[in-house]
Amino acid sequence: MWLNYLAMFVLSVAASLCLAVFLSKLSLRLKFLRDRSGIPVTGGLAIGIVFCAAGFILSISNISSAGLFRALLPAACLMVLAGFWDDVRELSVAGKVYTQLIAAALLVISGIRTHIVFLNDAGNIIVTVIWVLALTNAFNLLDIHDGLLAAG
């Protein structure tokens, strides 16, 4: 069982590297794959595409956690698209927050939420939404070097 996960991890890393290099070279030809200063914004896109593809493969497989991957995919794909759009066109703060709220709602609707024992369902939903917003914005703050992965 764990060997399947290890194999998917190794394949995902290799695919991410290959796709990042390919998209980086493609961004030199296609202007819309670069930000205003000409830096490729395809590194996160490559990782996101591979993550969503791996999640899809796992969601249709016979592993016990396939349902979890099916539940995660819509929110993950939404965040990948929003992150790419933000890198290319710069989403407004309201646009970012709305997208994050929609992704958090998709997770909650699909049954993915915290399970803190001393909180009721409403409390766990609130914690889940805050958690998604906090982590997403923390990663966004860390992402100060647009295109760093693909530029290498």
CB-based burial of residue 31 (10 Å sphere; 0-12 exposed, 13-18 middle, 19+ buried)? exposed
Three-state secondary-structure class, residue 119:
coil
Work out the average pLDDT over 53-80.
86
The more confidently predicted of residues 141 and 115 is: 115
Q: Reply yes or no on whether the pLDDT at 146 is more than 60.
A: no
Q: Reply yes or no on whether the pLDDT at 145 is more than 60.
A: no
In this predicted structure, what is the pLDDT of residue 2? 75
Q: Reply yes or no on whether the pLDDT at 151 is more than 60.
A: no
Q: Residue for token digits 């997208």?
A: 99
Q: Where are the alpha helices (DSSP H) in 90-120?
A: 93-109
**Residues in a beta bridge with 40:** 34
In this predicted structure, what is the pLDDT of residue 89? 80
What percent of the chain clears pLDDT 90, i.e. is strictly above it?
Answer: 38
- pTM for the predicted model, two decimal places: 0.81
Q: Residue for token digits 């990663």?
A: 139
103 touches 72 (CB < 8 A): no
**DSSP per-residue letters across 122-137:** HHHHHHHHHHHHHHHH
The more confidently predicted of residues 152 and 44 is: 44
Q: Crossing angle for the helix pair 2-29 and 43-59, nearest 10 degrees? A: 140
Work out the average pLDDT over 68-92.
88
C-alpha span between 120 and 85 (Å, rounded): 36
In this predicted structure, what is the pLDDT of residue 58? 81
